[in-house]
Amino acid sequence: MTRTARVVRASDHRSLEAFAAQTPYRYAEFFQANNVAWVDDEVLRSLHKVMPRLRAVDLSHVGTLEGTNITSKGVKAILESSTSLRVYHQYSGVMSSICSAIAAASVLTTLSLRIDESIVIDSLSPLEDHPTLKHLSLRFDAYTAPELPECLPNLETLSIAVGPYTDFNWDSVLPLCPCLKALTIDDRCGDELYNPVVFGALTPRTLNQLLADIPSLETCHLTRVASVVYYACTTCHDDERIICYRAPPGVSLTFGPAAFPPGFRVVLDVDTAPLPLAVAVWDYETLTDLDATAVPLGYV
């Protein structure tokens, strides 16, 4: 590789010696670990010395930390020693101590984390009120998801992916994000569980309330919708299953091609528009009431 390359991939080097032979990387800003055996805690600890312009680190392809030479100590070292680090990706072994180190990275703007069973319920709390974080991507694969920070004052984009074995409660789950402009959701919550929970699922009604509570939101994109939602919150009409969503005024709500299986049709309205009776559906919660006072609310 040339010495002017902006990205250093560990997989391009057969050994630590080969990597060291090309140092210093005066113009390199992005380091990718790529699950290479010679990348260990000591390499991470000294990385900022050989890459003085280091701005981004990607540990998303190192498998589990336990299966490599990288431990939480090495992760903490690179977060604490690289004063210009702005982008950090890690897809396994995220623990409270690592989140504390992330919170201490005062210039960090972009963060991607995959949350597995190694994390505890309050592991993300150190990110509370992070002053510079603008772009956050979280993937939850643990059976129980940790609580999100209560406030991220400067966050502009948020991506949340919920795995099929995760029991995730979407009611009031999002942090206070007064600057949030774009929200992306990939929801497979409970798809592989024997008895997924309906209440707390991301129904169209719950989604509408979440979007309405974000004052600066411009777009929301759903790449996938949990199966418990599109079976519990749909009505049949002319051999089609119809699900109705409403977006707050000023918010663009879109769906990916894999959001629903074949045979589903999405009816999209805004809150100020009346809902045609032909596609009116019932509020799921009122269907369980015994007082027979349920009325069609237009969306669930």
- Give the DSSP per-residue string, 192-238: TSSS---TTS--HHHHHHHHHT-TT--EEEEEE--HHHHHHS-EEET
Answer yes or no: do 83 and 196 share one domain. Answer: no
Residue 149 inside a domain? The answer is: no
- 130 shares its domain with 25: yes
Same domain, 180 and 116: no
pTM above 0.75, yes or no: yes
* Residue-range definition of the domain harbouring residue 261: 156-300
pLDDT tens-digit readout, 34-62: 778 888 888 888 888 888 888 999 887 55
| 117/163 same-domain check | no
- Which CATH number belongs to the domain containing residue 18 in this structure? 3.80.10.10
Q: State yes or no: pLDDT of 293 exceeds 80.
A: no
Q: Are residues 78 and 114 in the same domain?
A: yes
| Overall average pLDDT of the 52-77 stretch | 72
Q: What percent of the chain has pLDDT over 90?
A: 21
Q: Judge if 93 and 170 occupy the same domain.
A: no
Per-residue pLDDT band for 167 (boundaries 50, 70, 90) equals confident
pLDDT value for 42:
86
49-63, 112-126, 201-215 — most confident range: 201-215
Domain count, the chain: 2
Displacement of CA 179 from its chain's centroid (Å): 17
Q: Are residues 108 and 233 in the same domain?
A: no
Whether residue 180 is predicted with pLDDT greater than 90 in this model: the reply is: yes
For all residues of the chain together, what is the average pLDDT? 78
Residue 95 domain-assigned?
A: yes
Q: Which of 36-40, 72-76, 129-133 has the lowest mean pLDDT?
A: 72-76
Residue 163 lies in a domain: yes
Distance, CA of 158 to CA of 231 (rounded, Å): 27
Q: Is residue 148 part of a domain?
A: no
What is the pLDDT averaged over residues 115-137? 83
Of 134, 169, 195, the domain-final residue: 134
Instruction: Give the pLDDT confidence score for residue 132 in this predicted structure.
Output: 92
Top-confidence residue, 198 or 176: 176
Q: Is residue 143 part of a domain?
A: no
User: Would you say residue 146 lies in a domain?
Assistant: no
SS3 category, 66: helix
Instruction: Give the phi and the psi of residue 245 in degrees, each rounded to 5.
Output: -120, 150
Judgement on whether residues 160 and 127 belong to the same structural domain of the protein:
no
Residue 68 structure tokens: 């490599």
pLDDT digits (tens, 9 = 90+) for 235-285: 877 777 888 888 888 899 999 988 988 888 888 875 655 444 333 333 333
* 218 and 182 in a common domain: yes
Considering the domain architecture, whether residues 165 and 128 belong to the same structural domain is answered as no
